[in-house]
Structure 1
Amino acid sequence: MNKTVNINLGGIFFHIDEDAYLKLQGYLESIKRSLANSQGSDEIIADIEARIAELFNERLQNNKQVIRLREVDEIISIMGQPEDYVVDEEIFEDDPSTNQNKSTRSKKLFRDPDNSYISGVSSGLAHYFGIDAIWVRLAWILLVFGAGTGVLLYILLWILVPEAKTTAEKIMMTGEPVNISNIEKKIKDGFDNVSQVAKNVSDSVSKAAKNVDLKKGTNSIKSTSKTFFDSLADAVMILLKIFAKFIGILLIIIGASTLIALVIGLFSMGVADIIHIPGLDNLDLVNVGNTPIWLVSLAIFFAVGIPFFFLFYLGLKILINNLKSIGNIAKFTLLGLWILSIITLVIFGIRQASEHAFEESYIKKNELFIKANDTLMVKMTHSDKFNSSFSRDDFKLAHDDNGNKIMYSSDVRIMVKSTSDTVATLSIIKSANGRNYETAIARAKNINYHYEVKNKTLLLDAFLTTDIKNKYNDQEVDIILYLPENTVVYFSSNTEDFIRHNNHEGHLISDKNTNHFIRIMDNNSKCLDCPDEDFNVEVDTPEVKIDSDGIKVESDEVKINISSKGIEIKSDQ
């Protein structure tokens, strides 16, 4: 049974068994003796202890775990013995060949506060990629004034990339091994404050550290005796790392671009709705649920933006091994916001869809005093205020004669049917949607549509209007013109886009009949001045036969046979 000792190393509390404690204590004492006459020895010892505490933390699974002799031996192997390091540049001046054995160390990304203008992001990136910081700063300028993405990306890196505060972190930032020699060198460089001397010492210490690595066997990894399969494995790993970095960069670009687009959309839609910027009125027309636009924009921003933020964060994690975590509180907060946004959008969608649940029509019939053998002219009337050239199913905003805002649409359709009555009748069918019958019929009644008869000329408006409070609910107007038999009708060319023709519903006029005199007959029509009879329209009347075998109904498209064998239906379509 071993006795355990509680120690405070680098400001962190550890449990360590007695044998490991004695060895660690002797190790630190030997370091203190070797640095007794060194400038800044206290700071060097503090940084070495902080580095050892950091390495201990990496190996402990929980706070109650005891540090054993094995962990102490591993730390000493990483940090090195004090007698192995002599930070004196003159020793290495005659040994240039050792520079060739310098092993490649993986760098970690930190913000460099010692060479910063704002936060040290540029200097940290320069260390990480091995380039001069001036090129990184020029790239930020291009991103800010060129693509416009630099500010958000810089702020995110400022938040997520940790600052190199300790000497060990500053050494890891340059990719050098964090051991006694490099910690001592880094601190002495700060006291000397001479860049050229710092460079010479760095080269010398790096050579010394790599010589120690040679003593421990790492030379075999880089030696010329490496086998073919080892080289092949290294090449594959390099390719995989390059591919992973490429994926990380791609994720960062996609995530950042989407976040920037969402931010722009949030400000242009949501904020514009709050301060009532002109030009967004058309968007309010389709908002039949009267949901605040800024609230919808905010919900979309979180619902789409949070997944892409984590996509961006994943890309950074791929590129930056030591990226600072945003923390569980932030993660769960974002998750809660995302779930809340999805629920909010679902509620908005259901509310919006419910406004189109019912479609109702309001019908108004009027006599035109057009009799058999009369000739009726039909024309569409347009207005300078209302442009009917856009899509038939769309709505636009305009102002009436009193300056009030109204909606208008060209969703007007004309149909012609024959009637046995002696007088022509005009039936105007106004239709609209609503969340219930009462709402739908009220919106249908609030549709404004006008016509006029002058000297046996029927003038129909090419548009319908309604108050903007009714919103866009598929408002439309169907006009059915019932004409007595032997009536002659002439449709002007400007009615071509408004004529609806359907044989099965008994419509007698098609868009091909415009600019022609058409005689209305019993369930069919005849063109009086057409060059060929192809313009004549006949209603497809099915033939019905009833006999002992059953009932047969035949038309050009459908044949129905009802007999004792059952029902047989054949269609040509």
Structure 2
Amino acid sequence: MNKTININLANLFFHIDEVAYSKLQRYLEAIKRSFANTNGSDEIIADIEARIAELFHEKMENERQVITEKEVDEIIGIMGQPEDYMVDEDIFEDQPKTSKNPGRVRKLYRDIDNKYIGGVSAGLGHYFGIDALWVRLLWILLTIFSWGGFVFIYGLLWILIPEAVTTAQKLDMRGEAVNISNIEKKVKEGFDDVAEKVKNVDYEKVGTKVKDSSRSFFNAIADIIMFFFKIIGKFIGIILIIIGAAGIVSLFVGLFTVGILDIIHLPGIDFYYMVNSTNTPVWLVSLLGFFAIGIPFFFLMYLGLKILVNNLKSIGNIAKFTLLGLWLIAIILLAVFGIRQAAAHAYTGSVSNETELAFQLPDQPIKISLKSSPHQNNGNNIGINGVVLDYTENGEEVLVSEDFRINLKMSKDSIVRLEVRKNANGNTFKNATETAEKINYYYELQGNTLILDDFLTTAKENKYRDQEVRIYLYIPEGTVLAYESDNNHCWTMRAPLDRDMNGCEMTKYLWKMNVNGNLVCQNCPDNTEDHDDDDNNGKIIINEDGVDIDIKGDGDNFKLKIDEKGVQFNTKDSKKTVIKKETVQ
């Protein structure tokens, strides 16, 4: 049974058994002796200890795990023995220069040694293997074309990406092996300015020593499979970052250009004011929408960064729960606004006004004429369900609606009456009735012509509440009616006709109200009359004058006529036979 010792290595606490501790202590003492006369020896030793502590931490499954001699041997195999690197560096001047270990995976850090602002661009340059200048130029272009939206993305990366402080982190950032040799050379860069000599070191040879001497066939296959899985994972991470960043930038631009600052006045803003029955400010809805949609986009981008960057710094539980709380608050408030918006159409109110009309020439036909709206047919107006937002001659904003109908009915007496019924919705019956009363509708009587507006208006502050106007014109029996229209709104006519005809077709003829409450056409063509067709098959006529049947075909001929004179019929082989009306009776 070995004794367990608690040690503090680079400010990290570990449990290590006595044998492993002795071996680790001898190893560290050997390193200290090898760098005793080296510039920056203290920093080199501190970085080596930090790297060893990091490797120990990676191998630990839990905080109570005890480090054994096996883990110490593995760490020494990775870091190397001090005597392996005690060779004069000048002998490598003629060797090919290598700047990184090909087998080493870079880690994303912020390069604070070459920073202009936060070191994000320099760190990205190291991670992708490109010059930091191109990354900075790309940031500038993206910031310009996104109205400053990518400044927000840069700030997020500044917060989330850790900075490279220790020598081991700087080597990880460049993809170089973190061992005694590289730590020594990296530290000497700050004291001796030998950056070019560091590049001349054969890191590939060092990386080869770190790897195992051989691999089995199945291990190689497993590595290949894992490689493809990593590639797919990286691709998914890139897609998530692009989607998240694009969504955040778009919402950011929309929030400040339309929602809050109203820099760009889009027609959709007018539409919002038309339907916004709750009077919720557009900036508040925009802000809640930004949180409700933008926070999920942020976590998508964060997930993509976690997939790509293994050492990505966590935003912390406080930030996570704060964002979750903001998202829930935004969703709840938007749901409340939506319910209130729907409740604004829960009740329907109606206001009616009936007027007796006195025509100058009662014996002449009554003419109905529709007056078109000066606000309609304007392509610059945005509308919903036939309602548009426009301006009066005085510059006042009004809602103009085409929801207008005419219903013709029979009057109970000899007086022509006009009933104007205004309908609207509201969150209560009283509110709906008050909204209906605020509808503006006009008509006028000129001689025997009744001029009706084919539109209605209401003030902008009354909002869109399904406002409509229904006209009921009560016509006495025997009244002749004519319909005039110079627009395309003849379909607004509703009337009981004695034949199948729509509102547009009926405007071409005169109509008379009969005792049954139906309008009878006075000058319509006889649509029941059929002429002989190309095959000369005959005709069948049934109308108020009687019945006339004439059948021809295949050499046969049969005629039958029944009218007030009686019954007349004949065939090809018989003469005309007449049965008078009296005989029939």
Pairwise TM-score range, normalised by the shorter structure = 0.7 to 0.9
Q: Secondary structure at the match of 1:379?
A: strand
- Please give the alpha-carbon distance, in whole angstroms, between the structure 2 residues aligned to 1:134 and 1:416: 79
Residue aligning to 1:196:
196
Residue aligning to 2:486:
494
Residue aligning to 2:440:
448
- The alpha carbon displacement at 1:369 in A equals 3.0
**1:60-99 aligned within 5 A:** 60-86=60-86, 88-92=88-92
Residue aligning to 1:34:
34
- The alpha carbon displacement at 1:253 in A equals 1.6
- Please give the alpha-carbon distance, in whole angstroms, between the structure 1 residues aligned to 2:145 and 2:255: 22
- The alpha carbon displacement at 1:308 in A equals 0.9
Q: Secondary structure at the match of 2:7?
A: strand
- Residues 370 and 485, structure 2, Cα contact 8 Å, conserved in 1: no
- The alpha carbon displacement at 1:165 in A equals 1.0
- The alpha carbon displacement at 1:20 in A equals 2.6
Letter in 2 for 1:210: G
Letter in 1 for 2:504: D
- Please give the alpha-carbon distance, in whole angstroms, between the structure 2 residues aligned to 1:357 and 1:367: 34
Matched, 1:184 2:171: no
Residue aligning to 1:323:
312
- The alpha carbon displacement at 1:336 in A equals 1.1
Q: 1:94 to 1:258 in 2, by over 3 A?
A: closer
Unaligned runs of 5+ in 1: 535-573
- Residues 392 and 409, structure 1, Cα contact 8 Å, conserved in 2: no
Q: Secondary structure at the match of 1:494?
A: coil
Q: 1:499 to 1:373 in 2, by over 3 A?
A: farther
Query: Out of 294, 311, 315, which is 1:305 matched to?
Result: 294
Q: 1:250 to 1:485 in 2, by over 3 A?
A: farther
Matched, 1:144 2:143: yes
- Please give the alpha-carbon distance, in whole angstroms, between the structure 1 residues aligned to 2:181 and 2:145: 45
Q: 1:65 to 1:133 in 2, by over 3 A?
A: same
Residue aligning to 2:206:
209
- Residues 501 and 508, structure 1, Cα contact 8 Å, conserved in 2: no
TM-score (norm 1): 0.81
Matched, 1:517 2:516: no
Letter in 2 for 1:263: F
Residue aligning to 2:552:
none
- Residues 408 and 472, structure 2, Cα contact 8 Å, conserved in 1: yes
- Please give the alpha-carbon distance, in whole angstroms, between the structure 2 residues aligned to 1:243 and 1:9: 37
CA deviations on 1:7-39 (whole Å, 9 max, x unpaired) are 322123334333332222111101101111222
- Residues 111 and 122, structure 2, Cα contact 8 Å, conserved in 1: yes
Matched, 1:354 2:348: no
Q: 1:312 to 1:369 in 2, by over 3 A?
A: same
Q: Secondary structure at the match of 1:253?
A: helix
Q: Secondary structure at the match of 2:350?
A: strand
Residue aligning to 2:330:
341
Matched, 1:470 2:468: no
**1:210-289 aligned within 5 A:** 210-213=207-210, 216-217=212-213, 220-221=214-215, 227=217, 234-272=223-261, 280-289=269-278
Matched, 1:369 2:358: yes
CA deviations on 1:92-150 (whole Å, 9 max, x unpaired) are 56877x98x96511111111122222222222122112222233233223323345554
Letter in 1 for 2:420: I
How many residues are matched? 522
The structure whose residues are more often helix, as a share, is 1
Matched, 1:457 2:457: no
Residue aligning to 1:416:
408
Residue aligning to 1:479:
471
CA deviations on 1:140-183 (whole Å, 9 max, x unpaired) are 23323345554333222222211111110110111122111111
Letter in 1 for 2:5: V
- Please give the alpha-carbon distance, in whole angstroms, between the structure 1 residues aligned to 2:258 and 2:300: 24
Unaligned runs of 5+ in 2: 529-585
- The alpha carbon displacement at 1:498 in A equals 5.6
- Please give the alpha-carbon distance, in whole angstroms, between the structure 2 residues aligned to 1:163 and 1:300: 34
Q: Secondary structure at the match of 2:492?
A: coil
Letter in 2 for 1:519: K
**1:148-187 aligned within 5 A:** 150-187=150-187
Residue aligning to 2:533:
none
- Please give the alpha-carbon distance, in whole angstroms, between the structure 2 residues aligned to 1:335 and 1:74: 43
Q: 1:254 to 1:527 in 2, by over 3 A?
A: farther
Letter in 1 for 2:357: L
CA deviations on 1:244-278 (whole Å, 9 max, x unpaired) are 22222221121111111211222234424799999
Residue aligning to 1:134:
133
Q: Secondary structure at the match of 2:105?
A: coil
- Please give the alpha-carbon distance, in whole angstroms, between the structure 2 residues aligned to 1:24 and 1:232: 35
CA deviations on 1:490-538 (whole Å, 9 max, x unpaired) are 322335426335689999861232344333443443444555649xxxx
- Residues 365 and 427, structure 1, Cα contact 8 Å, conserved in 2: yes
Q: 1:95 to 1:57 in 2, by over 3 A?
A: same
Letter in 2 for 1:427: E
Letter in 2 for 1:393: N
- Please give the alpha-carbon distance, in whole angstroms, between the structure 2 residues aligned to 1:503 and 1:87: 109
CA deviations on 1:331-358 (whole Å, 9 max, x unpaired) are 1111111111111111111111111111
Q: Secondary structure at the match of 2:5?
A: strand
Residue aligning to 1:570:
none
- Residues 109 and 164, structure 2, Cα contact 8 Å, conserved in 1: yes
Q: Secondary structure at the match of 2:486?
A: helix
Q: Secondary structure at the match of 1:519?
A: strand
- The alpha carbon displacement at 1:450 in A equals 1.1
- Please give the alpha-carbon distance, in whole angstroms, between the structure 2 residues aligned to 1:531 and 1:193: 108
101-110 or 19-28: which moved more? 101-110
- Please give the alpha-carbon distance, in whole angstroms, between the structure 1 residues aligned to 2:258 and 2:348: 30
Letter in 2 for 1:105: R
- Residues 419 and 471, structure 2, Cα contact 8 Å, conserved in 1: yes
| RMSD, matched Cα | 3.4
Q: Secondary structure at the match of 2:165?
A: coil
CA deviations on 1:271-308 (whole Å, 9 max, x unpaired) are 24799999945422321122233222221111111111
Residue aligning to 1:380:
370
- The alpha carbon displacement at 1:234 in A equals 4.8
- The alpha carbon displacement at 1:413 in A equals 2.0
- Residues 392 and 410, structure 1, Cα contact 8 Å, conserved in 2: no
Over the matched positions of the two proteins, sequence identity in percent amounts to 53
Q: 1:392 to 1:32 in 2, by over 3 A?
A: closer
- Residues 360 and 440, structure 1, Cα contact 8 Å, conserved in 2: yes
Letter in 2 for 1:457: T
- Please give the alpha-carbon distance, in whole angstroms, between the structure 1 residues aligned to 2:456 and 2:62: 74
238-247 or 447-456: which moved more? 238-247
- The alpha carbon displacement at 1:394 in A equals 4.2
CA deviations on 1:367-419 (whole Å, 9 max, x unpaired) are 22359754122222245466678767344444556654433323222222334
474-483 or 134-143: which moved more? 134-143
- Please give the alpha-carbon distance, in whole angstroms, between the structure 1 residues aligned to 2:44 and 2:64: 29
- Please give the alpha-carbon distance, in whole angstroms, between the structure 2 residues aligned to 1:45 and 1:207: 23
